[in-house]
C-alpha cells in the first residue's frame, strides 16, 4: 500500500488511523475537533495527512498510559481521596473547556483519560473520534459511546446534550473510588436495565467523605435536567480546593509532581 511506503520512508509509526471502521466514515470529524482545541488537559493536535483514503493524525503522545491502567495495575488498592481528586479535577477542567466550545465528547471513560509527563501526573483527555459539535442543534440522538458509561437517555434513544458527559463523569468518579463500574451486567439488556434504574451501591464512607457520594449521586441522576452542569460540578465545595490547585498548576509538570507527592504520603 502506498501509505505503508510513505510511512517507512519517513520512519513514522501510525498511532491513529481514521477512514475505516465503525466511526471512520466521518473521517474529518476528529481532525476538525482536535484542530480547534488548545488546553493543558486536552491531547494536542499537531497535523494530519491524507493517504489512500485514510486520515493519519499526528498528535501528542501520552507517555504514561491511561487512567484505567493506573487504577487497576499501579493502584490495586483503593486510592486516597486527595489523589483521586488530583486526577479527576484535571479531567473536569478539560471537559469544561470542550463544553464551552459546544462540544460533547460522548466517550468519556478511564481508557480515554491519558496520563503523561514525569510520573504520569498530567491528565489529557483523548479520543475525540466520536465527539459531536452541538453548533445549531442543541440536542442529538445518535446512540454512540461506551456501553458501560451510556446515559439513560441514550439507552432509551432520546435526544441528549452535554448532560450525557456529566453522567459519564459520574461513572468515572465512582469507578475511581471503587475500582468497579457503576453499572454492569453480563448482557446488554441487563446493562440497559441497571443504567435506567440509576441505582448504585454507595462508595466506602469510611474512605471518602460524604460530599463525594453526593456529587456522584447528582451526576448519576436518571433525569438529565437534574444533573449539574460542568461549571456546577467544578463549583462543588468538596472539589474547589483541588480545582484551584490543578488550575493554577495546569500543564506544569514539575509543580503537579510536587503536589501529588504530598497526597501519596
Residue 12: partners with Cβ closer than 8 Å, 6 or more residues away:
none
CA distances from 226 to 130, 219, 223, 229, 261 (A): 25, 8, 5, 9, 36
Residue 96: partners with Cβ closer than 8 Å, 6 or more residues away:
230, 231, 234
Give the residue from 245, 64, 83 showing the smallest Cα distance to 177. Answer: 83
Instruction: Give the C-alpha separation, 83 to 70, whole Å.
Output: 12
Neighbours of 76 (CB within 10 A): 9
Q: Which of 102, 107, 184, 225 is catalytic?
A: 107
The SS3 call for residue 207 is coil
Question: Is residue 107 annotated as part of the catalytic site, yes or no?
Answer: yes
Rg (CA), the chain: 19
Instruction: Give the C-alpha separation, 187 to 157, whole Å.
Output: 18
Write out the catalytic residue numbers. 107
Amino acid at each position: 500500500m502506498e501509505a505503508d511506503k510513505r510511512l517507512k520512508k519517513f520512519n513514522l509509526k501510525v498511532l491513529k488511523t481514521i477512514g475505516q471502521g465503525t466511526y471512520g466514515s466521518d473521517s474529518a470529524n476528529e481532525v476538525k475537533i482536535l484542530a480547534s482545541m488548545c488546553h493543558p488537559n486536552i491531547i494536542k493536535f499537531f497535523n494530519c495527512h491524507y493517504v489512500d483514503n485514510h486520515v493519519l493524525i499526528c498528535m501528542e503522545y501520552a507517555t504514561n498510559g491511561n487512567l484505567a491502567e493506573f487504577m487497576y495495575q499501579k493502584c490495586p488498592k483503593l486510592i486516597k481521596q486527595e489523589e483521586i481528586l488530583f486526577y479527576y479535577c484535571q479531567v473536569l477542567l478539560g471537559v469544561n473547556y470542550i463544553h464551552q466550545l459546544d462540544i460533547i465528547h460522548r466517550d468519556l471513560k478511564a481508557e480515554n483519560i491519558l496520563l503523561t509527563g514525569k510520573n504520569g501526573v498530567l491528565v489529557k483527555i483523548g479520543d475525540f473520534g466520536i465527539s459531536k459539535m452541538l453548533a445549531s442543534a442543541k440536542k442529538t440522538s445518535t446512540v454512540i459511546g461506551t456501553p458501560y458509561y451510556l446515559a439513560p437517555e441514550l439507552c432509551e434513544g432520546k435526544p441528549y446534550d452535554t448532560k450525557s458527559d456529566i453522567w459519564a463523569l459520574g461513572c468515572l468518579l465512582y469507578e475511581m473510588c471503587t475500582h468497579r463500574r457503576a453499572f454492569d451486567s453480563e448482557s446488554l439488556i441487563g446493562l440497559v436495565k441497571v443504567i435506567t434504574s440509576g441505582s448504585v451501591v454507595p462508595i466506602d464512607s469510611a474512605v471518602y467523605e460524604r460530599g463525594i457520594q453526593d456529587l456522584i449521586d447528582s451526576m448519576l441522576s436518571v433525569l438529565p435536567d437534574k444533573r449539574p452542569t460542568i461549571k456546577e460540578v467544578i463549583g462543588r465545595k468538596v472539589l474547589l480546593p483541588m480545582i484551584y490547585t490543578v488550575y493554577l498548576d495546569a500543564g506544569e509538570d514539575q509543580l503537579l509532581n510536587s503536589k501529588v507527592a504530598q497526597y501519596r504520603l
